[in-house]
Amino acid sequence: MDRKLSTLSIANSLDDIESCTNMECLTFRGEMIKRLNAMEEKINKNSDNYDSLSKNVIGLQNNIFTVSQQVGEISVEKRSGKQHESDPTMEQLKKFMERNIPPQPVTIADVMSCCDSKCLPAGSLCRNGNGIVKIRECGILAKYLSSTQNLEGNRPIMVVAESEFMRANIPSDVSGQTYVVFYCEMKVIPDNDENMDWKAELGLYKDANCFFRVSSDGHYYTATTKRMFSEPLTGCVVFGVGQIFPPRNKPNAPTQIFFTMNGKQIDKTILMSEDVDLLPHIIVKNCDAEVNFGMDDTKPFTYDIGKHEAAYDN
């Protein structure tokens, strides 16, 4: 509105000097007319852009309203029990949710980091030049980058899941008579240098006072226990860890923890006397670790988890 008033004012001023016959006056009037025309062209162009944007906004509002209606119809149909053809994408999502996949370890733990300064967020470099772990492929691959300057600086580094506790991931629609198992495996890929001191561990972790894991040194570890299950391992090895939650209709039944190596269960099944939330974790030193959470059907578990049986029946 202000711009229109401004152009009208200029036009009136030009009319006032219309009778001017002086060459300088005529030249000035002609220049002002050109400027006026250019200004009107810009105003018209901006007005067209404004109209176009207004139409786009109205169109988006209509789309939002349409989507809102569709969501409302879906909610009503779901409550009324109507059935429709399954959307392939939704079917894939449903299968994904039914897998009970444990959270992926993607956070470098402060308790076992690159150095005493605990300077290592996932993927960065150690300020002291020590070995580090880089998390790649969406949390599936933990790659240990050894220090070439200080071999003593290649420490064991713990990688802990940063997601919710596994118990919180149990779907609410699971039958009250069903055991729920979370299971994952870790393929250890040692350094090619036979003289390189390497180490790999897999387990479940709460804190320094509550953890369970198996190690490539052939031992099973807890906060209070160290027990040998094998000679120290050489070459590639596949560790697995599982946690079994009892059915809701057995509230007093203990949670179970078990370990596997190269497709076979090792050591005894652990029966937890207390209800403790645990997270998957790995520890690596001078070796890489590829973690399998069962998300890819082309990469089945080495251990046949479908044949695993609970350690109790009552």
116 is in which domain, residue-wise? 94-307
Q: Which helix (H) or strand (E) holds 31?
A: helix 23-80
One domain, residues 138 and 270: yes
Mean pLDDT of residues grouped by 10 in the chain (314 residues)?
Answer: 45 51 69 76 68 55 44 38 42 42 56 71 69 73 78 82 61 73 90 81 91 94 91 91 86 90 90 83 91 84 84 55
15 lies in some domain: yes
For residue 271, give the CATH number of its domain: 2.60.120.920
Please give the pLDDT value at position 118. 66
Please give the pLDDT value at position 1. 45
Exposure string over 256-287, b if 16+ CB within 10 A, otherwise e: bbbbbbeeeeebebbeeeeeeebbbbbbbbbb
Give the helix ranges, DSSP H, for 113-234.
none
One domain, residues 64 and 135: no
* pTM assigned to the model: 0.61
135 lies in some domain: yes
Q: Of the residues 36, 70, 104, which one is the last residue of a structural domain?
A: 70
203 lies in some domain: yes
One domain, residues 207 and 281: yes
Q: Of the residues 13, 37, 70, which one is the last residue of a structural domain?
A: 70
